Amino acid sequence: MRPAQLLLNQAKKGSGIGIPVELTPLFIAMGLALASGTYFTYKKFRHDDSLRVTRNPEQSNLKKVLAESENNE
């Protein structure tokens, strides 16, 4: 008795991404690490007043440096 084409098709392995199930916790941990790193970096850049990311005239030292260089010449 020969197997039917339907039975042969059922025996084939489905095509998909061949990622082992054991790597799922690793992917979850790496995703959480990446998300938390992004969040805390954004939080540091956005809310830290000691960083000079945007224009902040009261923390600018440019006028003082230019005045000292003119006095030294």
What pLDDT was estimated at residue 51?
Answer: 72
- Residue whose pair of structure tokens reads 């039975």 in the numeric block: 7
48: left (phi over 0), alpha (psi -120 to 50) or beta: beta
What pLDDT was estimated at residue 34?
Answer: 98
pTM of the model: 0.49
Domain ranges of the chain: 21-71
**Tens-of-pLDDT digits for all 73 residues of the chain?**
666 776 666 656 666 677 888 999 999 999 999 999 999 999 988 888 777 656 666 666 777 888 888 888 7
What pLDDT was estimated at residue 3?
Answer: 65
